[in-house]
Structure 1
Amino acid sequence: MREVTGTAGTADEVPLVGGTANRGQVVRVGDTVRRPRRDTTAATHALLRHLADVGFTGAPRVLGVDGRGREVLSYVPGTAVTPPYPAWALTDDALVSVAHLLRDYHRAVSTFDPAGHVWPPHPPSPFSGELVTHNDVNLDNVVFRDGRAAALIDFDLASPGSRVWDVAGAARLWAPLRPDRHIGDARRGRALGRFRLFADAYGLTAADREQVVTAVLHNHDWSYDIVGTAAAGGHAAFSDYWANGAMVRARETRQWYVENGDALRRALT
């Protein structure tokens, strides 16, 4: 892996907000981003290089490592959606643009061979193995320009999954699919309609619509298992997140999925 020369000092580093796993460890240095490397970094870099090779512009480029052993990626210009969420990021137009970006990513990654790489934990069967999915299309992992979703960032959880899995995860977070008492913005009361809008904008097939509601529940469980496991292992940021209401919200949201499965399915027909 190429070493990037001119390692920046602390004075040159601007912390980037958003995210939990690497909180306080991701910085911007000029037109680059420096991040901690992981056991699966080589796989992520192979994925990002493929995206660059096929002309997909909606992801960072791999530049190498710096003198402190951090991965160096290109800085993606634009605005990531971090709290307090701006009103423009919660509009239907913004939602549609996220669906289009995810569809374009899936097209670009469909020719990538994940074999031979060590990946983070895969989504569960039957939602794994079709293509390498992002697996964390959270609001702060989408970069907007001029009000439209332009790029995905933070591919740390990317691993072989399926289109319907990524759609379920993105819709779960962006609609959002959760009880109204846990939605404190303009999206409140519109979860089902926005779920349908996301599926339509992505172009989800009739067959995939049969699976996506089940995928939403499994995606919720899979995601919060990652959070709970990290918190139990002593990860400070995840422990804070878990203790400050996430555990309760996760339990109540899961029950909402169980009770509203038929309503979620009807919303897509």
Structure 2
Amino acid sequence: MSPTHRPPVEARVYAPADGEASDVELMPAGDVTEGVVRIGGTIRRPHQRQSRAVAEYLDWLEDAGFEGSPRFLGRDDEGRDVLTFVPGRCAAAVPEEWVQSEELLASVGRLVRRLHGASAGFVPRAHPFPPHPVPRRADRHDAAELVCHLDVTPQNVVVRDGRAAGLVDFDLAGPSTALRDSYNTAMHWVPLCDPADAWPGWEGLDPYRRLRIFADAYGWDREERRRLPGLGVDAGTLTHERMRHNAVALGGGWARMWDEGVGGLILRRRRWLQANAERLLDALLA
């Protein structure tokens, strides 16, 4: 890949072009980041400690030819990060019925696979991602790290013509592994959870069929499929620790989610994965 010559991310200042639209549209608030607005063809987001690392990652994806992510344009005169607007449709906080489409589910798997291919080789040298105070436990399967999105929820996937076309909200991006990121995507989209915690209208979906659709579309190999239930249980333990830490240390949306019971949801998911491990493996390996 030959990188595009552009100023360093810290030096980019966004200046609106003459005649650029100035109407402000408040975008739906995410679980953590609030105050995101659309102005013309741009998205303005509050600057955060990982913003420069994310900007460097988005530059890499652009150079790699990945068309499904926003482009970092700089910071505006209010200090906000300015990104290109990715046109399309995203799910609401409670995803609508159209989000249940199996064709859409498969296209999400393919999009995430393309993202991981484009991410290969990226090392954020100028602006490393801030280390997490509750680190991921390494094991022999996780030696190779990959910068990933890590939050591919229905609300963060841009859909056009019934298929996943782009990803937004890279606030949680950082080093992980392709398997963990793709599992996390399946967790949201299948979804993999206690049926009591499914979104309204999603209770009747077949999680085993949907997991197989995602696995085939993403392209998990047989060993990765065998690892999935155990990986999900381990991920639940780590996620619970991180959510509890963030609620206390960072407050804001993290504290709100914790107060609303996300900790219990995570533990119920963990128990559901343990109880249904054999059925999940049958679906993945049949």
Contact 2:157–2:166 at 8 Å: present in 1 too?
yes
- Alignment match, 2:166: 151
Amino acid at match of 2:212: R
Contact 1:132–1:158 at 8 Å: present in 2 too?
yes
- Alignment match, 1:44: 54
Give structure 1 regions of 4+ aligned residues with deviation exceeding 4 angstroms.
none
Moved more, 34-43 or 244-253: 244-253
Instruction: Mark the CA change 1:233 to 1:131 in structure 2 (over 3 Å): closer, same or farther.
Output: closer
Amino acid at match of 1:12: D
Give the deviation of 1:43 after TM superposition: 1.3
Q: Aligned ranges for residues 171-210 of structure 1 at < 5 Å?
A: 171-183=186-198, 184-186=200-202, 188-210=204-226
Give the deviation of 1:148 after TM superposition: 0.8
Instruction: Mark the CA change 1:236 to 1:44 in structure 2 (over 3 Å): closer, same or farther.
Output: closer
- Alignment match, 1:170: 185
Amino acid at match of 1:137: V
Contact 1:51–1:109 at 8 Å: present in 2 too?
yes
Instruction: Mark the CA change 1:84 to 1:259 in structure 2 (over 3 Å): closer, same or farther.
Output: closer
Match of 2:138 among 116, 122, 125: 125
| Structure 1 vs Structure 2 CA RMSD | 2.1
Give the deviation of 1:18 after TM superposition: 4.2
Instruction: Mark the CA change 1:145 to 1:187 in structure 2 (over 3 Å): closer, same or farther.
Output: farther
Structure 1, gaps ≥5 residues long: none
Q: Aligned ranges for residues 57-136 of structure 1 at < 5 Å?
A: 57-115=67-125, 117-120=127-130, 121=132, 123-126=136-139, 127=142, 129-136=144-151
Counterpart-to-counterpart distance in 1, 2:151 and 2:52: 18
TM-score (norm 2): 0.85
Moved more, 135-144 or 119-128: 119-128
Give the deviation of 1:104 after TM superposition: 0.7
Give the deviation of 1:115 after TM superposition: 4.4
Moved more, 109-118 or 159-168: 109-118
Structure 2, gaps ≥5 residues long: 1-10
The Cα offsets for residues 182-205 of structure 1, whole Å up to 9 and x where unpaired, read as 223245341121111111111111
Amino acid at match of 1:172: M
Instruction: Mark the CA change 1:109 to 1:212 in structure 2 (over 3 Å): closer, same or farther.
Output: same
1:260 aligns with 2:283: no
Amino acid at match of 1:165: R
Counterpart-to-counterpart distance in 1, 2:121 and 2:262: 37
Counterpart-to-counterpart distance in 1, 2:237 and 2:23: 40
Give the deviation of 1:44 after TM superposition: 0.9
- Alignment match, 2:4: none
Contact 1:179–1:253 at 8 Å: present in 2 too?
yes
1:228 aligns with 2:244: yes
Give the deviation of 1:209 after TM superposition: 1.4
Contact 2:32–2:252 at 8 Å: present in 1 too?
no
% identical aligned pairs: 33
Counterpart-to-counterpart distance in 2, 1:220 and 1:265: 18
Amino acid at match of 2:243: V
Give the deviation of 1:123 after TM superposition: 4.2
Give the deviation of 1:116 after TM superposition: 5.1
Give the deviation of 1:130 after TM superposition: 2.8
Give the deviation of 1:129 after TM superposition: 3.6
- Alignment match, 1:211: 227
Contact 2:110–2:218 at 8 Å: present in 1 too?
yes
Contact 2:26–2:37 at 8 Å: present in 1 too?
yes
Instruction: Mark the CA change 1:108 to 1:251 in structure 2 (over 3 Å): closer, same or farther.
Output: same
Count of residues in Structure 1 that have an aligned counterpart in Structure 2:
265
